[in-house]
A and B are shown apart, each in its own frame.
Chain A
Amino acid sequence: MLELFHYDFFQNALLSTLFIGISCGLVGTYIVARRMVFISGGITHASFGGLGLSFYLGLPPMLGATCFALLSALGIQCLGARRKISEDSLIGIFWSAGMAIGILFIYLTPGYAPDLMSYLFGNILTVTPAQLILSAVLCGLILLFFALFSRPLFYIAFDREYSQTHHVRGGTLDTAATIIIALCIVLCLKLAGIILIISYLTIPQTIAALFYHNFRQLLVASALISTLGSVAGLLAAAALETPTGATIVVCFLVLLALAWCIRKLPARRRTTPN
């Protein structure tokens, strides 16, 4: 297995897993704190429409996916704010519409869509050098965003009306965060796959929340756990020759079980009567 490290494709995969792990850890913390997990699911599935369209038109798949992810994220935010349609209905509409459009275009595309399975279930081993650079740039952007704005971002999310009394409306920051979420999701498509992406944005954060209760600690802890879990998952997948996306999710689950035992067992021992 060690010889795998000598191959370019594996080094690319490992580095890209690292960048994606950090990005998902940070963005997922915000998603979980604001209870936007369902919205993130909607954006993810809507981006499938973009993939289908790209296959049909012969464009780079990530281009279509990015456009659909951004449009659906901003669409849910804008239309949800008008309150004519409830937000969860909107998410359902974008979710299924994206999938439907994707399936139709893939059906219409002559021949076989080669990459389709890797977008649905994730396969980081096929990551290209261009995608690696893209994930590095986006990871840098996300790190910078949270380093600069984590306090106002979470303060506004915590108590919006109170922030407004401070004349901080938060609209621009919200939109920036929505764009960051959409871009992070598109970045993860290759590693996690549409079906499994949500686990990258929720399981590391759930593990971190067993130990920490403040958003600043959670951001750091989630990024570390997410990176650890995805790198360990990738190595396990290489050793066991199993699909990377699913192996990483199982790895997260093992970490979650371990963390839960560490957290709960001493507490139980303390409360056991002598």
Chain B
Amino acid sequence: MTPLLELKDIAAGYDAQPVLQHVNLCISEGDFLAIIGPNGGGKTTLLKVILGLLKPSAGEIIRHVPLHNLFGYLPQNSAFDRRFPISVEEVVLSGLLSEKGILSSYTRADRRKARELLEKYGMGKYAARPIGELSGGQMQRVFLCRAIISSPRILILDEPTTYVDSHFEQEFYAVLRDLNRTMAIVMVSHNLGTICAYVKTIACVNRGLHYHNSNLITPEQLQLYNCPIELITHGQVPHRVLGLHNHPQNT
């Protein structure tokens, strides 16, 4: 697999307080990586380092692809003003910001691409609507379109299903699986149960990073990785996932 991005012995934190230390990670083409870990363990900090929002205090980041279409990013909860005057189509077009820079103009082809993506994800008829009128699930689809309009090599998602219902969640993971054919995906999640079936590899982040080269992970392994996840240690993982780990099924 061709590597796209490598983190080498990264340390990062805020105001001289280290959150991450000695982190090594390589993201390659075709990856579907879940980043899990306890709250405050450094998941978001790691994403910020990967995205270039936070400069690491030590270590090296090697990018094997030009920066302008390396990342597509779907934030956990876009902190935007619901009354901001922007249409759904413009929100999708804003995903081309780094490709266009601040001086280039947006072409008819760009608009067509935005419309096509919205159609594909069932949001075509909302293109001219203000973004603030949409429901949580609809917004998430629009932000997904914004994240992938630049055809990024790595799609980064921060707890993408926090504010959506479980029906949409299943649908959303199917979409991601489809997208994974053309781009690597890195997803932060607290819900290990659901994602296990979709991801290929798992990284446990708790100050350090432990890379687990499979989508099957046992509570013992998590303990070994110093990765206390509430769901696992308290035994509340959904049945079908316990089945994956060869635990007895009750149903």
Contact = CB atoms under 8 A, between A and B. Distances in A.
B11 to A, nearest CB: 21
Interface residues of A, number: 28
A141 interface: no
A interface SS class? helix
A17 B138 CA distance: 44
Interface stretch (A53-61, A76-84, A211-219, A264-272): A211-219
Interface stretch (A18-26, A87-95, A156-164): A156-164
Nearest to A154: B86
B62 interface: no
A59 to B, nearest CB: 37
A161 B78 CA distance: 8
Nearest to B133: A213
Contacts of A149: 102
A214 B102 contact: no
A154 B81 CA distance: 12
B85 A162 contact: no
A168 interface: yes
Interface stretch (B88-96, B182-190, B211-219): B88-96
A199 to B, nearest CB: 19
Nearest to A214: B87
Interface residues of B, number: 30
B129 interface: yes
B90 A165 contact: no
B58 interface: no
Given A212-B85, A213-B87, A168 B98 contact: yes
Interface stretch (B35-43, B67-75, B160-168, B202-210): B67-75
Given A165-B52, A212-B85, A213-B129, 9 more contacts: A154-B90, A157-B84, A158-B94, A161-B79, A162-B146, A209-B85, A214-B87, A215-B85, A218-B85
29 contacts: A33-B84, A35-B81, A148-B103, A151-B106, A152-B100, A154-B86, A155-B94, A158-B80, A158-B81, A158-B84, A161-B53, A161-B78, A161-B79, A162-B75, A162-B94, A163-B94, A164-B53, A165-B51, A165-B52, A165-B71, A165-B73, A166-B98, A167-B98, A168-B97, A168-B98, A213-B87, A213-B129, A214-B87, A215-B90
